[in-house]
Structure 1
């Protein structure tokens, strides 16, 4: 097979189209002949954000495709690829949070030099960021101040987001994968030795959890929550199964077959945390720049960002299950046969 080589003369600048990339920073202050030095910084940083958003979407689409197959093996290469790409998104989000530091070298008076020239443009109008939220699983009805979206996004963008939300998001696909968790089938538990005679694993775990609670934690209320989250609900059996599978993976993550599933869940929680950190960091920057003034897009500025940082979580169900964890030494011991199935060695073929 003939080896393909780069066309003669192809250079760094040509490959990256730098002639276009470096000539799309058009300052309104320059156009209006009202000098504002820091507008260039403002433009470059926000363009860099949009490029990173594009990469995040690229990675999320590939992960969604993996989980859309419907037959992902917990111990397959696909699972490793999905976790690796989600970890890449984590590092990109860390970078986006840190990038605010550069923007904060601009002082409030520097921003005022060109702020009015931006109206009504606003970061709220970043369609790519809304697309990321929707791909992950944030529904329009769960967004903070959702009424702003109709006024800030174009109609075709709203239609596209609503169409995306009607399809299976990453959250939907991961929950479906968790709901098929195979290791709760009775065949794996025939040699289970209960802590309390006659108990099932979950009855033993429920008792161990109750024993771990202090009076200050409100034992009665916490046990009511446990019942709600983990007892079979005829109306929402999938949710009950997802909760059980997620908690089980968190508890017994040290078994080889559960390590990648744990990394997946933990990485999704980390993505949620970093998105919240980015919103919070943006909020504190906005408060420093404009105080309590209205945002350029017509939102309440700091107030909107504070609400979004507190409400727009996607994987909060997974994170909330940490409430029901107990120490390793108090966990019920798994049956020998199940341990073998969760390990690389001594598995029946």
Structure 2
């Protein structure tokens, strides 16, 4: 639901009645992932998408029904062998949808959702504050759609509780689960007991994280950096270009970057904040910049590390890094040469090669052509939560 936060927040401020349908689970080649949402107001206006078009009509009707009845529902949509063009996912996947009515006079759910939507709408700003929205996506019908807004420090608004004597336990469990997913910047479902434990009547929680955009830090103010900044912004990163040479590191040369920093790369890395979603792209291919920078980068829990250079440059770089004290496990994090084998020549093609490798590493893709091979189109990375994802162009 937070993917349409800005528009839904405006609906809340305008006092509109609306219902929101959210993808809870997606299996197989489903076009949208958990958290994707479609909302319909009382006038019939729709925003968002849950399937890329496959089941939008049926979900739209479910939203209208929820507005009429005031009842939250959960519905599954899957592929239909009898008629691939009937209601169902013709791509072969299955999605579960949670549909929740949010009338303007709702004093329990609406304030929590409004606060979550406000937090999500601001999360893209440099001073945005992370928050997680937790909703009961499956369980006793009377609990469907109940919500909590959880912040990184563990404070929260709202309640999921099925009864006064079990409310606190379930809320505490939800807060703990949400904080863990929020730290990783992930949206996922978690199954717990209705009493807050791991037994008893199961309750499925949908946790949606609203976090600032992941960072892409590009070291080296060269033409390849300009192309990479453009594609980084397209992919939703907050892009920083850093170079020690003020004549090259200018906002005029890199208009697509969110910020341009004049500083020695390793000093900037020492002073800035990074996390498991951060991408570091080292395009300087100059040992006096590369070695102190990579020595630090390969020790950090970031998602991807890359360093431009020829194979000869790479071998020399590995030797220098070993002399600097890095072990083989740290060096193994460095994918070299950077990027996928696209035959890239131009800065734009090279940036596409690097971005393709970043996406493959982030999503668990192999990077091989899909034509003629029996491999999943969409990958499940739930087993690698918190592991990070690391990677250096010829």
Same structural fold, with TM-score higher than 0.5 when normalized by the shorter chain: no
TM-score, L = length of structure 1: 0.21
Higher strand fraction: Structure 1 or Structure 2? Answer: 2
TM-score, L = length of structure 2: 0.19
Higher relative contact order (CA 8 A, sep 6+): 1
- Give 1 or 2 for the bigger CA radius of gyration: 1
Higher helix fraction: Structure 1 or Structure 2? Answer: 1
